Structure 1
Amino acid sequence: MGKNKLLYPSLTLLLLLLLPTDASVSGKPQYMVLVPSLLHTETPEKGCLLLSHLNETVTVSASLESVRENRSLFTDVVAEKDLFHCVSFTLPRSPTSQEVMFLTIQVKGPTQEFKKRTTVLVKNEESLVFVQTDKPIYKPEQTVKFRIVLLDESFHPLNELVPLVYVEDPKGNRIAQWQNLEVENGLQQLTFPLSSEPFQGSYKVVVQKGSGGTAEHPFTVEEFVLPKFEVQVRMPKIITILEEEVQVSVCGLYTYGKPVPGRVTMNMCRKYRNPSNCYGEESNAVCEKFSGQLNNEGCFSQQVNTKIFQMKRQEFEMKIEVEAKIQEEGTEVELTGKGATEITTTMF
């Protein structure tokens, strides 16, 4: 009766079992004891007695019996007229997760006696334990933060004493533990720091419940290394002095082949053969600069007009050099790649 979802099937079951065979006849005495067919230990339950159409004084007794104990629900309740009476009771925790008990009802009067026996299922109330860490992977010297949530079977928060909580490393060593932990309003939050050189691999938080069961939650500790990538500059190996344009592409690829997201800055120069230090960088080379966002393939392409590089003049080196820098999105890690194309006077 303490749990609405169990009440109605229970009442139907016991109503059929406990009514006298002639109860359907109008005016005949009727007796009914209402007890849930599923009872939980350590939780208040309720049993009710209904008597109607009495024509004499009767006494009623009801009890629950099992191999380990007998428990009275009603003891010699006396009724002279119609009666509806309820009592609350709490069953102690069972040594097993569930057991079957016998419900015995006895009604006695001067001219009649009625006795019936049926079974009910008794289960230990089990709390639901959830463990959650603030992230799945940690690095050495980071702080592991986790929470323990305790709920009853109806998902209501519990106040409960947890005998033991501990953290176990990949070698099976306990590296942190808490005993007799008070959980209030269903929630307890804990932290512990990792050492500078912990074992790398799979760890777990273990919560031992008062019932003897356990709940676990895994997490991983590893030395996280940023993915490495390469900057590739793609351009023709040789161009002639008559070429008006040259195609240059810059691509960023991780070592495992995936494209790099980010931006590129590209500097394209033709150096003087005999640079002068008197007039700064402009007297050392002729340069053009480009920048842009890498596409979905991790590349940036530019069609470059060669007019600025004065292709036919001999006082320049006979090559164009490219230096490209890619800045990875999110990390701002920047790597550089280089390329060059030779300028020739030979016509193909």
Structure 2
Amino acid sequence: MPLTALGSLSPISPLSPLTLTLTLALSLAQSPPQDTPGPPLALPLSMAEEEEEEEEEVVEGLEALSVLDSKKDSAAPFVLRDPTYLMVAPRLVRAGQVYRAVVNILDPSPPLVVRATIFRDNIELAAVEHECESDFPHALELMIPPGASGGRYRLRLEGNEIGSLTGSSFVNETTLSFSPRGATVLVQTDKPIYKQGDVVRFRVVALDTAVKMVEDSVDVFILSPSGVLVRRWLSRQCREGPVSLSFPLSAEPEYGEWTVRVEATNTFTQHLFSVELYTLPRFEVQVSVPPFLAADAPYLEGVVTANYSSGAPVTGNVTVRASVRALTSLPRPAPAPAPESSLAQPHAMFAGIFHFKFLVSELEELVVGGGDGEVVVTATVGDAHWDTTNAAYATTRIFSSAIRLTFLGESPQVLRPPMPFRFYLTATQYDGSRVPEWRLHRHRLLVSPEVRLVTGERHRLLPRTVKMTHAKYALVGS
């Protein structure tokens, strides 16, 4: 019986299941036929089922062997399962730009021919086909037409076996977003507001998606507030760097919002600048006050001057107002002070210069919520000859007049009971500046020593009064 040949296989041989099935099939095929058929063997039911299962395994092994032989003869590899791949691609599509995608066929998938296609409203715009090796990334580049417009965009990825006509190994589709901007254009002017007769200077920078200068040229247009084309520059190259241009305004231009329009790579950018009427004032007003004011100072003094452009003094009247605002909110420019929250000094006989003086005690009453503040002094001058007015303002800060004392040296300091203890103090104003000598002469330093022992006991020593001196900007005590 041919099955008896199976018993001769050694169990130590590391044969795979396919190789074992092939050995069974050969042993069955090489067994000599019997000359005289013998009587059928009477096997139990279980043994007959096992024999039928073994015969089915032999038939499956022969079929697998024939399939392998047929695949060896053909040039295409045999794919036992669906291939595995990885693709990375941008979601955004721009007109006139190269769309790049990276495909990697992962092991153990065989090499495939990958085709990438971009559709817009079911119309093929760009396609590329590339043979991709296994376990190696490949870049696919598709050129989007410059005249591409909006619509429904989708990317289709298809993988086929090399030399096979049986169909695609995998197909995948995804939706893309379209952007008409092919480049980023930046426009910068030298100032936001111009007057009649000024020269408008600006520059243009055009960058692509890789933040590099675009290779194409740009067109620049100047539009008036009414939309009239006033000036244009065509085919300006940006590859070497920013494009610097200038445009002179006439003596009587159209006032309002002007537009700089730049067109580059199927996109356009607009930048606005203002042109306003400017007339020189007939005279100029200046207010001079000290930048800082101590809280214990008796007066806030200042001077107001007004002169024509020729230097001649202005004759007329002047009104000086002083208001106080908190340092936490400093709007610019200074708002017009309300009459009920400010101090006013009108003067009817103004001849180009006026000295004013405000009591600091009255200014402190205007401070809301306490703390330091800023005094805003506004002067309004009226010209009696031309019947015009002009105003100016100045600010000064009020700081605390208390003297700040600071110990010099490390803390704690070493005290030796048998020896005298000497310490040094510095006296400065609240803002850290030097204390005037006249303030030191009228003050005295009271020293109240106190000894605290390790046990927690405290002993107060006799206090002493030390005269404050201005030598070396320090105070010495012992």
**Match in the other structure for 2:244:** 189
Corresponding letter in the other structure for 1:102: L
**Match in the other structure for 1:63:** 116
**Match in the other structure for 1:146:** 202
Q: Secondary structure at the match of 1:69?
A: strand
Structure with higher Rg: it is 2
Q: Distance in 2 between matches of 1:298 and 1:102?
A: 68
Q: Secondary structure at the match of 2:123?
A: coil
1:89 and 2:141 equivalent?
yes
Q: Distance in 2 between matches of 1:219 and 1:154?
A: 33
C-alpha distance after superposition, 1:162-195 (max 9, x if no partner): 1x31212233322211112212355211101111
Q: Is the contact made by 2:195 and 2:276 (CA closer than 8 Å) also made in structure 1?
A: yes
**Match in the other structure for 2:65:** none
Q: 1:154 to 1:98 in 2, by over 3 A?
A: farther
| Count of residue pairs the alignment pairs up | 230
Pick the aligned partner of 2:85 from 32, 40, 46.
32
Q: Distance in 1 between matches of 2:202 and 2:320?
A: 34
Q: Secondary structure at the match of 2:252?
A: coil
1:130 and 2:182 equivalent?
no
Q: Distance in 2 between matches of 1:105 and 1:39?
A: 20
What is the CA-CA distance between 1:206 and the residue it aligns to? 1.7
Q: 1:131 to 1:250 in 2, by over 3 A?
A: same
**Match in the other structure for 2:407:** none
Which blocks of at least 5 consecutive residues in structure 2 are unaligned?
1-79, 287-300, 307-316, 323-346, 359-374, 380-389, 395-478
Q: Secondary structure at the match of 2:197?
A: coil
Q: Distance in 2 between matches of 1:48 and 1:180?
A: 38
Corresponding letter in the other structure for 1:38: R
Which blocks of at least 5 consecutive residues in structure 1 are unaligned?
1-26, 232-247, 261-265, 269-288, 300-325, 331-348
Please state which structure has a larger fraction of its residues in strand. 1
Corresponding letter in the other structure for 1:134: D
What is the CA-CA distance between 1:86 and the residue it aligns to? 0.8
Corresponding letter in the other structure for 1:131: V
1:225 and 2:280 equivalent?
yes
**Match in the other structure for 1:172:** 227
Q: Secondary structure at the match of 2:160?
A: strand
1:201 and 2:256 equivalent?
yes
Q: Is the contact made by 1:62 and 1:106 (CA closer than 8 Å) also made in structure 2?
A: yes
Q: 1:258 to 1:216 in 2, by over 3 A?
A: farther
Q: 1:132 to 1:258 in 2, by over 3 A?
A: farther
Q: Is the contact made by 1:151 and 1:186 (CA closer than 8 Å) also made in structure 2?
A: no
Q: Is the contact made by 2:197 and 2:249 (CA closer than 8 Å) also made in structure 1?
A: yes
**Match in the other structure for 2:153:** 100
Q: Is the contact made by 2:255 and 2:274 (CA closer than 8 Å) also made in structure 1?
A: no
Corresponding letter in the other structure for 1:199: E
Give runs of aligned pairs for residues 1-348 of structure 1, distance below 5 A: 30-38=83-91, 40-41=93-94, 42-43=97-98, 45-54=100-109, 59-66=112-119, 67-69=122-124, 71-75=126-130, 77=131, 82-93=134-145, 95-97=148-150, 99-108=152-161, 114-121=169-176, 123-124=178-179, 126-153=182-209, 155-162=211-218, 164-185=219-240, 187-226=242-281, 296-298=376-378
What is the CA-CA distance between 1:39 and the residue it aligns to? 5.0
Q: Secondary structure at the match of 1:140?
A: coil
Q: Is the contact made by 1:60 and 1:106 (CA closer than 8 Å) also made in structure 2?
A: yes
Corresponding letter in the other structure for 1:145: R
Q: Distance in 1 between matches of 2:139 and 2:267?
A: 31
Percent identity, please: 20
Corresponding letter in the other structure for 2:156: L
Q: Secondary structure at the match of 2:98?
A: coil
Corresponding letter in the other structure for 1:36: A
Q: 1:34 to 1:249 in 2, by over 3 A?
A: closer
Q: Distance in 2 between matches of 1:291 and 1:136?
A: 38
Q: 1:140 to 1:297 in 2, by over 3 A?
A: same
Q: Is the contact made by 1:39 and 1:121 (CA closer than 8 Å) also made in structure 2?
A: yes
What is the CA-CA distance between 1:52 and the residue it aligns to? 1.3
Q: Distance in 1 between matches of 2:174 and 2:354?
A: 85
